[in-house]
């Protein structure tokens, strides 16, 4: 359309955790085009195929624009007043009959910080329980717990820009070319400019093909690999002794433990060559400014938190974190605001800014400000919510902006949990597989229609601004939560998103300097940002670590086996992940031209395995696990090794999470998406 657009709004991408700044151009009230904002600090004028072209969903024909209430077994349109009254009445009934702990809320990494703040405040003060969690439970909860244990704070240590001066990237369990394309491009540019690259990943990704060393370690062996690398760093003395002496604890215990991980032993556990392991350790050990970038291939394991901690050891051994000029450790967050949802306290044990609900002084401060007592007992994590629903202990689940039936593991268990509830409430932009189980479906605004902030993967608060109005009766989660609270006789305060961030900042020392006004005037700010006249801290831990003794804690942790292993009945190992063209459950990207670029999912399988199974490229295959079944087509590729298969979870027809197991990280409850034993059959 050659006509000029009528307005341009600068906002933050709502897809991945990079958080690119985008200009949204509007004509006749609809998004006409999206371009990366020139000079924006995060993406420097770049954006990927999702941020640039996946915006047409805003006016998709099947967009939810009217609340739906289930009557006589069918979801039927109703008014907002009726829908809100129904939710409030039935939540109150569950609370009165079974107590507040019978209600649970799953908040959202798609929602703004202000919506997440309001969601956890609603659950804690209006309902009276700590049963609130968000999808970081399914991806980076081990990062929050692991980085807190090692360094004292639950965030990556350095900004993305520090990759500009690294001379060696250790990229682990991440495929940023597909999942975080702007970061993938940044790493590639750096490598083409001469930086060394070590990749630890069971798949041959684009960056793995470019790497100096690619350790194709068997899924579930991360801790062994990191301990093996630490073994070489220590035995060959690639250590920053001064840093270790002054700023860490636990070196002797770590050195003792990693004696058991010499290259030959580690190589056998991980299925890699010992010489490659030594070469990788030397590249990392001899670099002057090594950087660690990692993703869900580290966290989504039975021992994911141990993986984060033993990976953090490598940065500490080299003094590559908390020192001038260091490049630190960067966890690549999956969804746009998964960092922010946790920062805002949408967690069962932590209030905003990671302040523990079990700390009486913290609780008293929030209770006094909110005018209602914050419950003391930590609430349920998402997997525990589903278990409790099946056990009859949780009777109502309120889901904001998540399609848990498609995204959470062991989907039949999730469906059974939703069926067992007296009430399921769902806010979403589109009808979803989760909405099929809901009693009330509330039409939600998308990120292109919202006011607030997101926090990206390097701890930057960025403004989210409405470029267009939500269609029909769709409304922001912020407005919906206010209405439900009001119908329950409560007032959540903070009438605007700016008020919500101001209230959060007043109660949370690490966010004390943040406000919409400041972000509008000066652009993005990293947290911690402790006062209105202070810049945010882009690099953490320069003076001291945020641990009680000010020192980072090296972790001596052994390799332990994953939740399940291939066997005669289920001889292949399934890894799940993401594709470039789509985002998570695909509800937005599948309704855009990106669907033409990638219209369906296929199971990646090695040609040797395919030949053994008598399967050709494009043939139908049935995949079964101990937990469920999925029908896919085969895609023959040498990007996976024999014995391993790979699929993404973007398409509801490819029920990949019917296959994944209930095994979770022992420390945080994060599901083990990366290790599922499966059988593959033709047909």
Find the binder of ligand SF4 among 15, 354, 386, 527 (CB under 6 A): 15
Closest distance between ligand SF4 and the C-beta of residue 134, in Å? Answer: 19
Residue 181 in the binding site for ligand SF4 (CB under 6 A):
yes
The reply to whether 18 sits near ligand SF4 by the rule CB under 6 A is yes
Whose Cβ is closer to ligand SF4: residue 301's or residue 579's?
579
Task: Specify the stretch interacting with ligand SF4 by CB under 6 A; choose among 15-23, 317-325, 362-370, 459-467.
Answer: 15-23
The distance of closest approach from Cβ of residue 18 to ligand SF4 in the complex, given in angstroms and rounded to an integer, is: 4
Stretch that binds ligand SF4, among 17-25, 67-75, 282-290, 419-427 (CB under 6 A): 17-25
Closer residue to ligand SF4, CB minimum distance, 159 or 345: 159
Q: How far is the CB of 581 from ligand SF4 (least distance, A)?
A: 11
Question: Does the protein bind ligand SF4 through residue 16 (CB under 6 A)?
Answer: yes
Closest CA relative to residue 397, chosen from 376, 378, 413, 382: 382
* Closer residue to ligand SF4, CB minimum distance, 16 or 603: 16
Q: Which parts of 525-554 interact with ligand SF4 (CB under 6 A)?
A: none
Copy the structure tokens of residue 497: 């998103």
580 binds ligand SF4 (CB under 6 A): no
Contact indicator for 24, 6 with CB cutoff of 8 Å: no
Q: Which is nearer to ligand SF4, 51 or 100 (CB)?
A: 51
Parallel/antiparallel/unpaired status of strands 7-12 and 21-27:
antiparallel
Query: Residue 35 burial by CB count (10 A; 0-12/13-18/19+): exposed, middle or buried?
Result: middle
Q: Where are the beta strands (DSSP E) in 225-383?
A: 248-249, 290-294, 329-331, 350-351, 355-356
Give 181 or 319: the residue with its C-beta nearer to ligand SF4. 181
Beginning with the edge strand found earlier in the chain, give each strand of the sheet holding 21-27 in spatial order: 7-12, 21-27, 30-36
Q: In whole angstroms, give the CA distance from residue 545 to residue 244.
A: 13
Q: For residues 120 and 589, which CB has a smaller minimum distance to ligand SF4 in the complex?
A: 589
CB of 591 to ligand SF4, least distance (A): 16
Q: Which stretch binds ligand SF4 (CB under 6 A): 16-24, 326-334, 470-478, 502-510?
A: 16-24
We find the least distance from the C-beta atom of residue 32 to ligand SF4, in angstroms, to be: 17
- Of 463, 462, 459, 430, the closest CA to residue 444 belongs to 430
- Of positions 68, 91, 182, 504, contacts ligand SF4 by CB under 6 A: 182
CB of 230 to ligand SF4, least distance (A): 32
The correct pick among 20, 244, 292, 389 for binding ligand SF4 (CB under 6 A) is 20
Asked if 331 interacts with ligand SF4 (CB under 6 A), we say no
Q: With the CA atoms of 117, 120, 121 and 122 taken in that order, what torsion angle do they form, in degrees rounded to the nearest 10?
A: 120
Strands 196-200 and 168-172: parallel
Alpha-carbon distance of 478 to 449, in angstroms, equals 12
340 binds ligand SF4 (CB under 6 A): no
By CB under 6 A, the count of residues binding ligand SF4 is 14
The tokens for 110 are 């798609």
Q: Find the shortest distance in angstroms from Cβ 524 to ligand SF4.
A: 13
CA dist 293 to 14, 106, 169, 188, 312, Å? 21, 28, 7, 13, 11
Q: Binding to ligand SF4 (CB under 6 A): which residues in 28-57? A: 43, 47-48, 50-51
In the complex, the smallest distance separating the C-beta of residue 392 from ligand SF4, rounded to whole angstroms, is: 40
Structure tokens at 67: 């609340």
Q: Nearest to residue 425, comparing CAs of 57, 85, 14?
A: 85
Distance of CA 308 to the CA centre of its chain: 14
Provide the minimum distance between the beta carbon of 36 and ligand SF4 in the complex, in angstroms, as a whole number. Answer: 7
Q: Residue number with the shortest CB distance to ligand SF4?
A: 51
Tell me 449's DSSP state. Answer: G
Regarding 13 and contact with ligand SF4 (CB under 6 A), the answer is yes
Task: Please report where in the chains the tokens 């439970």 appear, as a residue.
Answer: 137
16 or 199, CB closer to ligand SF4? 16
User: What is the rounded CA–CA span in Å between residue 551 and residue 553?
Assistant: 6
Measured distance CA(304)–CA(332) in Å, rounded:
14
Q: Is 295 in the site for ligand SF4 (CB under 6 A)?
A: no
145-158 burial, b at 16+ Cβ within 10 Å, e below that, comes to: bbbbbbbbbbbbbb
The answer to whether residue 383 forms part of the interface with ligand SF4 (CB under 6 A) is: no
Which are the contacts of 568, defined by CB distance < 8 A and separation ≥ 6?
A: none
Which residues contact ligand SF4 by CB under 6 A? Answer: 13, 15-16, 18-20, 43, 47-48, 50-51, 180-182
């Amino acid at each position: 359309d050659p006509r000029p657009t009528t307005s341009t709004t600068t906002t933050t991408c709502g897809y991945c955790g990079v958080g690119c700044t985008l200009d949204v151009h509007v004509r006749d009230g609809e998004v006409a085009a999206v371009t990366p904002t020139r000079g924006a600090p995060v993406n420097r004028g770049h954006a990927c195929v999702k941020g640039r072209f996946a915006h047409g969903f805003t006016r998709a024909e099947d967009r939810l624009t009217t609340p739906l209430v289930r009557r006589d077994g069918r979801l039927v349109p109703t008014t907002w007043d009726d829908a809100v009254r129904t939710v409030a009445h039935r939540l109150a009934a569950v609370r009165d009959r079974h107590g507040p702990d019978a209600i649970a809320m799953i908040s959202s990494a798609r929602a703004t910080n202000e919506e997440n703040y309001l969601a956890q405040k609603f659950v804690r003060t209006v309902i009276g329980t700590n049963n609130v969690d968000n999808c970081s439970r399914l991806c980076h909860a081990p990062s929050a717990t692991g980085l807190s244990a090692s360094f004292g704070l639950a965030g990556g240590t350095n900004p993305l820009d520090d990759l500009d001066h690294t001379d060696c990237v250790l990229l682990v369990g991440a495929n940023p070319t597909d999942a975080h394309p702007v970061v993938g491009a940044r790493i590639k540019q750096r490598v083409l400019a001469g930086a060394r690259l070590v990749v630890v990943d069971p798949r041959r990704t684009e960056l793995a093909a470019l790497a100096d060393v690619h350790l194709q370690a068997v899924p579930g062996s991360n801790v062994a690999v990191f301990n093996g690398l630490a073994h070489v760093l220590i035995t060959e003395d690639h250590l920053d002794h001064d840093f270790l002496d002054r700023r860490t604890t636990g070196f002797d215990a770590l050195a003792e433990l990693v004696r058991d991980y010499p290259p030959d032993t580690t190589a056998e556990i991980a299925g890699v060559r010992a010489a490659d392991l030594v070469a990788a350790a030397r590249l990392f050990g001899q670099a002057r400014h090594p950087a660690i970038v990692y993703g869900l291939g580290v966290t989504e394991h039975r021992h994911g938190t141990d993986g984060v901690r033993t990976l953090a050891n490598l940065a500490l051994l080299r003094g590559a974190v908390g020192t001038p000029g260091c490049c630190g450790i960067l966890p690549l967050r999956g969804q746009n605001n998964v960092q922010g949802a946790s920062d805002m306290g949408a967690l069962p044990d932590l209030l905003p800014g990671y302040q523990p609900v079990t700390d009486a002084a913290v609780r008293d401060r929030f209770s006094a400000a909110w005018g209602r007592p914050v419950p003391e007992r930590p609430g349920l994590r998402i997997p525990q919510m589903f278990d409790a629903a099946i056990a009859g202990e949780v009777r109502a689940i309120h889901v904001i902006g998540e399609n848990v039936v498609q995204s959470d593991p062991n989907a039949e268990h999730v469906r059974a949990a939703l069926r067992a509830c007296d009430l399921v409430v769902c806010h979403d932009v589109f009808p979803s597989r989760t909405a099929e189980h809901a009693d009330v479906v509330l039409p939600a605004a998308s990120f292109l229609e919202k006011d607030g902030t997101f926090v990206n993967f390097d701890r930057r608060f960025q403004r989210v601004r409405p470029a267009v109005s939500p269609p029909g009766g769709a409304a922001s989660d912020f407005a919906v939560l206010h209405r439900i609270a009001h119908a329950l006789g409560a007032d959540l305060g903070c009438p605007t998103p700016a008020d919500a961030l101001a209230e959060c900042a007043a109660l949370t020392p690490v966010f004390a300097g943040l406000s919409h006004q400041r972000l509008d005037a000066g652009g993005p700010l990293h947290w911690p940002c402790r006062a209105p006249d202070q810049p945010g801290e882009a690099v953490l831990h320069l003076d001291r670590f945020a641990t009680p003794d000010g020192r980072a804690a090296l972790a001596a942790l052994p390799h332990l086996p994953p939740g399940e292993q291939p066997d005669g009945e289920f001889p292949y190992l399934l890894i799940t992940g993401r594709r470039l063209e789509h985002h998570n459950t695909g509800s937005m990207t599948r309704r855009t031209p990106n669907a033409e670029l990638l219209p369906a999912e296929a199971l990646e399988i090695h040609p040797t395995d395919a030949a053994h199974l008598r399967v050709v490229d494009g043939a139908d295959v049935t995949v079964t696990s101990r937990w469920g079944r999925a029908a896919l087509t085969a895609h023959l590729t040498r990007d996976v090794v024999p014995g391993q298969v790979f699929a993404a979870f973007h398409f509801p027809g490819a029920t990949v999470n019917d296959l994944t197991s209930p095994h979770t990280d022992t420390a945080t409850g994060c599901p083990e998406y990366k290790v599922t034993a499966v059988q593959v059959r033709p047909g």
